[in-house]
Structures are given as structure tokens and as C-alpha cells.
Amino acid sequence: MTFDQEWAGLMSEAKERRSVGMRLNSGETPPGAPGAGSAFDLVVTQDDLGAVGNQAFLLHAELRKKADIAGAGSDAGGAGSTAQAAKELSAHNMTMGGELSTTLSVWDSQVKTVLQMCAHISNHLNYSKKSHAKDDELIEASMRGRDGSPMPVSELSKYVS
């Protein structure tokens, strides 16, 4: 069987299985799974957010230390050993010098992008955690009387439709 034949067969099977409408949040939750028995199964706790943010922070620190080939073995001029090798190869009219320089440039750019994303994830989760805690405090404060006593149930029922 050729690739085209196999691909056509897989596509026709997928079309047969495809339902007419779109289904969002309507898949069946297996018994015993988180959210079983409820319409919504996405639950995120502060501990979950903290763990993800912490892992992003740790990844950022490790990546920064171990993936910096541009600055590894720097000389007095600040050029790393890989950049020095590329310059030396180019000086001897070897095309590999230019290719090594290009590779170093692409690698450095990609590492910086991953570092930015790790920092963004970590910072955003820290911000979200603080922001939601502040929102919770404001809601709690607004649901108390001037004397600090809890809002009466009759007052709370106005917010429930």
C-alpha cells in the first residue's frame, strides 16, 4: 500500500467518525476521574499554579546556565569559544566558519526565546496568584458588614438568580 492510499483510507475513516456538530465540554468523563458527575472537569488549584510556575523558574535557571554556548569560554573581548572557532575558521577561508557562526546565532536566538517564555510563564502565574488572592480579599470584604460581621443570608440571596 502506498502512502497516498493509506492517507486516503485514514481520511475517509476520520470523515465517517466525524459528528455533524461541534462538541465543547460535552465529552463523557470516565468514572472516578476528576470532575466525574459534573458538567465541568477543569479544576486548577493554587498549588497546581505554584508547581507550574516553580518548574518554569527552575527550567529558566538551568537553561540559562547550561545552554549558553555563545558565552561559553569567553575571551577578553567577550567572544565565546564557539564564536572564536567560527572566526578562526573563516580567517582560514573555510566555509564552515560562516556556517558555525550562523548555527551559533540561531541557537542563541532560540535559547533566548525559550528563556523568555519560561520567565513569562513563571511571572504570569505569580501575577495571577497574587491578583486572584487580592480579588478574593475584596470579595470577602464586600460581603461583610461595617462591623465585620458576615452578610446576612437575605442579602446574599439578592445575588443569586
Instruction: Please tell me whether residue 150 adopts helix, strand or coil conformation.
Output: strand
**DSSP assignment of 3-29, as one string?**
HHHHHHHHHHHHHHH--SS--SS-SPP
Would you tell me the crossing angle of helices 46-66 and 95-142 to the nearest 10 degrees? 160
Residue with cell 582560514: 92
Number of Cβ within a 10 Å radius of residue 53: 20
Share of the chain above pLDDT 90, in %: 22
Quick: pLDDT tens for 23-64: 555 455 555 555 555 555 556 677 777 788 889 889 999 988
Q: How far is Cα of residue 80 from the mean position of the Cα atoms in its chain?
A: 30
Q: How far apart are CA 76 and CA 101, in angstroms?
A: 19
Cα torsion through 12, 15, 16, 22, rounded to 10: 170
One-letter amino acid of 30: P
pLDDT score for 52: 85
pLDDT score for 34: 53
Beta carbons of 84 and 73 less than 8 angstroms apart: yes
pLDDT score for 109: 92
Instruction: Please tell me whether residue 55 adopts helix, strand or coil conformation.
Output: helix
One-letter amino acid of 151: M
Phi and psi at 133, nearest 5°, equal -65, -40
Domain assignments of the chain as residue spans, ordered by start: 44-142
Residues 6+ apart with CB under 8 A from 87: 79, 97, 101
pLDDT along the chain (161 residues), means of 10: 86 74 52 54 71 88 83 73 90 93 92 91 81 84 79 72 58
Instruction: Please tell me whether residue 147 adopts helix, strand or coil conformation.
Output: coil
Instruction: Please tell me whether residue 105 adopts helix, strand or coil conformation.
Output: helix
